[in-house]
Structure 1
Amino acid sequence: MRRRRAEKRKIIADPIYNDELITKLVNRIMLDGQKSKAQKIVYGALEILQEKTGENAVEAFHKAIENVKPLVEVRSRRIGGATYQVPFEVPERRALSLSLRWIVTSARSKQGKSMIDRLSQELLDAYNGVGAAVKRKDDVHKMADANKAFAHYRW
């Protein structure tokens, strides 16, 4: 018998923009519990994003996240000794966490410059529909499209 599902924790909105998604980004950036350092990075990146887009920082950030969110992904499913990559629709929570993860990892993998500059550049790229995180989403979509013949193996 399985245990009960873990309950979802309530995320407290961040103090400056009053947005839960920004808090999630701060928590994703944070290393070794250094939250104030992570907040400086995120807020600095959002200011740069606001300057470059000319749009409200929170709206630009939300648009960037929307551009990175995957709609479908593939999961391995073993059927009769063969493993198939079966396409599945991505639940909203997972799509959000994947998009944040992809943005942060692609910002971290860039060379040179400060983390503020790298994160703001990645958010700007995502806002414009280009960049590493958006490419990652497109790759996931292509993989799901290539394997749509196995969609009937969904459970």
Structure 2
Amino acid sequence: MRKIKRKQKIYFPDPKFNDPLVTRFVNHLMKNGKKNLAYKIFYHAMDKIDSINSHKENNKTALEIWKEGLNNVMPHVEVRHRRMGGANIQIPVPIAPKNKVTKSIKLLITSAYKRKNEKTMSDKLASEIIDAFNSQGEAFKKKENIHKMAEANKAFSHFRF
């Protein structure tokens, strides 16, 4: 085989929740190497989710809401382009499990950045996570659009790479 398989990256657990997935999320949230700032933004967002959730009766922690929101935003199929006979064809391809998580993290963060109603990034992130938990919001719509594109091009699924 010509390709060398990449080593799996090991993520250390974060200090507060002791979860490696949180560290992975914070690494994607981080800009210009400022990891402490990214942790502050994430933890403030979790505190906001806890304060909003304390009024409701679903008895879930902020971390559980965040993980469920990530699962709701996680796409299972994506569309890849392939050139066949002078035409570009969009072929639906299932996504690998590691890439699913990465894609859902990126969808949540980019849609949180685009929010205009809230002022701080922690507010934006908290409201986007709550929207993802409730199967609403920009990130969930993007996931639905990805699935619709794959469904529309289901006829080309036999042209897999």
TM-score normalised to structure 1 length: 0.94
Task: State how many pairs are aligned.
Answer: 155
Distance apart, 1:109 and its partner CA: 1.2
- Amino acid of the residue matched to residue 124 of structure 2? R
Gaps of 5+ in 2: 55-59
SS state at 1:15 partner = coil
Distance of 1:122 and 1:141 partners within structure 2: 20
Distance of 1:127 and 1:71 partners within structure 2: 17
- Partner residue of 1:133? 139
- Partner residue of 2:57? none
Gaps of 5+ in 1: none
% identical aligned pairs: 39
Among candidates 70, 73, 78, match of residue 73 of structure 1:
78
Among candidates 93, 101, 107, match of residue 96 of structure 1:
101
- Partner residue of 2:6? 6
Distance apart, 1:53 and its partner CA: 3.0
SS state at 1:10 partner = coil
Distance of 1:85 and 1:53 partners within structure 2: 41
1:82 and 2:119 aligned? no
Question: What pairs up with 1:88-127 in 2 under 5 angstroms?
Answer: 88-111=93-116, 112-127=118-133
Q: Which portions of structure 1, spanning 4 or more consecutive aligned residues, are displaced by more than 4 angstroms? A: none
Question: What pairs up with 1:38-77 in 2 under 5 angstroms?
Answer: 38-54=38-54, 55-77=60-82
Distance apart, 1:92 and its partner CA: 0.9
Q: Deviations over 1:48-96 (max 9, x none)?
A: 1223234112111110000000011110122233221000111111111
CA contact (8 A) 1:50 1:60 kept: no
What value does the CA root-mean-square deviation take over the aligned residues? 1.3
- Partner residue of 1:30? 30
SS state at 2:101 partner = helix
